[in-house]
Structure 1
Amino acid sequence: MTDADQLAQFFQTQRPHLKAVAYRMLGSLAEADDAVQEAYLRLNRSDVAEVENLAGWLTTVTGRVCLDVLRARRNHGEEDLEGPAGVEAVEATERDAMADPELAAELSDSVGLALLVVMDTLSPAERLSFVLHDMFAVPFEEISPIVGKSPAAVRQLASRARRRVQGQGEASDADRGRQREVVSAFLKASRGGDFAGLLKLLDPDVVLRGDPTAVAFGATAEVRGAGGVAKQFSGRAQAAQLALIDGTPSLIWAVAGTPKVVFDFTIVNGRIAAIEMLANSSLLGELAVEIVARVGE
């Protein structure tokens, strides 16, 4: 079997995943198929011998193709899906679901008709950041070169998109107050070794990710599930401090007042759905950090 044959076989194993990525990005089965086919053509034109994570490479290539499509839509004034256009988008999505049973299963799971319509109100960069990060756990540092922005800026794009999707707009004082309560309770349970308390605060499918710098410091690259994440933090975080990162309640570990690691929380329905350990000094330098309280205060 030639290398080309092996690549083709590997691509076929990735096709359902790539199609799911493209569909969430574009909301059109035909365009999703076209985007996946374009990703395959780019694979054949590229030298991927040195690519360590080919599946991740294909995901980012598909995302880049979809971003180009979304930007073309916007340039042609096709992005406005309010009113009748939004109804047409729902009807088109329903037709796609009927034509593809696997897609129907996806829609009944996490992508939903209403969600697709809401995401059509996002800018192309917001949509890509939200879909890749929140739905497919792609780190901000890998999304950064696709949209041409820093990881910190991508984080903000995903955060804005997440609030729009959740119907929150800009976070209210009450919402931030609730987030602060959750983060504070998480810190207290971590320091006290309260494993059961941590489990109550964590979504069952929570994901803990460390950026490459954090991993170089000894952090685990990725941990999934409430039990595994609770084990990572139980009895730890002794030197952590509660802080506001770009106005959002978070935790930091600082040395002489300089943040070395930021723990960025995604909180959904009062539970922690994701934790990002950010240690890249360049990224941290772009964040607005305000220490709220020291441990024990």
Structure 2
Amino acid sequence: MASTPTAQDTLAAEFAAHRSHLIGVAYRLTGTRADAEDAVQESWLRLAGLDDAGRAAIRDLRGWLTTVVGRICLDRLKSAAAQRERYVGNWLPEPVVTPFGQPVSEDPLDIAVRDDGLRMAALVVLDKLTPEQRVAFVLHDAFSVPFAEIADALGVSADAARQYASRGRKALADADPAPRVPLEDQAKLLEKFLIALQAGDVRAMTELLAPDVVLIGDSNGKGRTARQLILGPDKIARFFIGLTRMYAPGVLAGGTPVLVNGDLGVYLAPQPGEDGFLTLDEHVQSFTVRDGKVAAIYDLVNPDKLARITRPAASPS
């Protein structure tokens, strides 16, 4: 005989219906999978801890949970700011890696990164905002949370919340992160770039790079990548050509195509160093394309940020 669901069971089912949405909110706010999942779990604990009167006062559960997650993420962003001061080199969001050319899993975060606002280029810009600007902008512009509720989450007036969102919106507009282009266009460009790299053709590589192209590496000192930003087509092309002389032939151009936050990227498996060549660390590289050229390259090597990625299946030998 089936048991009758309890009030807690019903509440848990209602929460589960919003979980994918909340994961997307939290990841967009924090840029890390662990913080996103922790924030969502904490929002459940806060909901479950309410008494009957507290639950009855919630008119819109999705909106209430979204605001609670925003408040939790605000605290995490503030504590992360202090941690970033000790970070070695540049900081990039934790990548969400999914297979290329295969059905996307039903993992909430895999679903969330189909959203254009969760591509790496957009998250990099969001990371430059203050915690208050990021929370206000994301909650209002992406998820239509009223400023009165955002103000409550931030502990400020509604006018101040509106100002934070406005500044975040302006920063995003000024940075103008490239919108996502069709994957087939990305694939054609990446193939040309890798062919030029393998051939050591600096000129062909520079023609595929935008005039203001930037390469950003993230390792926290735990892997080999660029510690400083590399700007401009010629410098980036020569940087990659130099790397091909340090690693075994074909290794850098032999990565596996993957999706990184919904855009085309490359997964490089770790390789031992042999015959005088360097050991290759595990890499996830993502690319932003604008006007038919590569506008940004993100090279993630920090093992802490790659610990939970979905790795491509090994090719049969």
How high is the TM-score relative to the length of structure 2? 0.47
User: Which of the numbers 27, 37, 52 marks the counterpart of 2:59?
Assistant: 52
SS in structure 1 at match of 2:62 = helix
Q: Answer yes or no: is the 8 Å Cα contact 2:25–2:69 preserved in 1.
A: yes
The residue number in structure 2 matching 1:93 is 95
- The code of the aligned residue for 1:28 comes to T
Structure 1: 5+ residue stretches without partners:
170-297
Cα distance in 1 between the residues matched to 2:77 and 2:168: 15
The residue number in structure 1 matching 2:39 is 35
Greater share of helix residues, 1 or 2? 1
The residue number in structure 1 matching 2:7 is 3
The residue number in structure 1 matching 2:112 is 106
Q: Answer yes or no: is the 8 Å Cα contact 1:79–1:121 preserved in 2.
A: no
Cα distance in 2 between the residues matched to 1:79 and 1:137: 32
Q: Answer yes or no: is the 8 Å Cα contact 1:80–1:120 preserved in 2.
A: no
Q: Answer yes or no: is the 8 Å Cα contact 1:141–1:151 preserved in 2.
A: yes
Question: RCO greater where, 1 or 2, for CA within 8 Å and sep 6 or more?
Answer: 2
- The code of the aligned residue for 1:24 comes to R
**For the pair shown, which has the larger CA radius of gyration, 1 or 2?**
2
Q: Answer yes or no: is the 8 Å Cα contact 1:21–1:59 preserved in 2.
A: yes
Cα distance in 2 between the residues matched to 1:80 and 1:167: 28
User: Which of the numbers 152, 159, 162 marks the counterpart of 2:159?
Assistant: 152
- The code of the aligned residue for 2:115 comes to D
Cα distance in 2 between the residues matched to 1:22 and 1:33: 8
For residues 227-249 of structure 1, the C-alpha deviation after alignment (integer angstroms, 9 at most, x for no partner) is xxxxxxxxxxxxxxxxxxxxxxx
Cα distance in 2 between the residues matched to 1:19 and 1:50: 24
For residues 78-124 of structure 1, the C-alpha deviation after alignment (integer angstroms, 9 at most, x for no partner) is 2798x9423xx25x3144x5697653453343221011111111111
Cα distance in 2 between the residues matched to 1:31 and 1:128: 14
Q: Answer yes or no: is the 8 Å Cα contact 2:133–2:167 preserved in 1.
A: yes
The residue number in structure 1 matching 2:189 is none
SS in structure 2 at match of 1:52 = coil
Q: Answer yes or no: is the 8 Å Cα contact 1:80–1:121 preserved in 2.
A: no
Relative to 1, partners in 2 of residues 1:6 and 1:94: Cα closer, same or farther, differing over 3 Å? closer
Cα distance in 2 between the residues matched to 1:55 and 1:79: 35
Cα distance in 2 between the residues matched to 1:108 and 1:62: 20
Number of aligned positions between the proteins: 163
Measured after TM superposition, the shift of residue 131 of structure 1 is: 0.6
Relative to 1, partners in 2 of residues 1:8 and 1:79: Cα closer, same or farther, differing over 3 Å? farther
The residue number in structure 1 matching 2:28 is 24
Relative to 1, partners in 2 of residues 1:100 and 1:164: Cα closer, same or farther, differing over 3 Å? farther
2:71 is the alignment partner of 1:64: yes
- The code of the aligned residue for 1:31 comes to D
Structure 2: 5+ residue stretches without partners:
100-104, 177-317
- The code of the aligned residue for 1:5 comes to D
Cα distance in 2 between the residues matched to 1:109 and 1:8: 26
Instruction: State, as a whole percentage, how many aligned pairs show the same letter.
Output: 42
- The alignment yields a C-alpha RMSD, in angstroms, of 2.4
For residues 39-59 of structure 1, the C-alpha deviation after alignment (integer angstroms, 9 at most, x for no partner) is 111111113122211221111
Cα distance in 2 between the residues matched to 1:145 and 1:79: 28
Q: Answer yes or no: is the 8 Å Cα contact 1:79–1:120 preserved in 2.
A: no
Measured after TM superposition, the shift of residue 71 of structure 1 is: 1.1
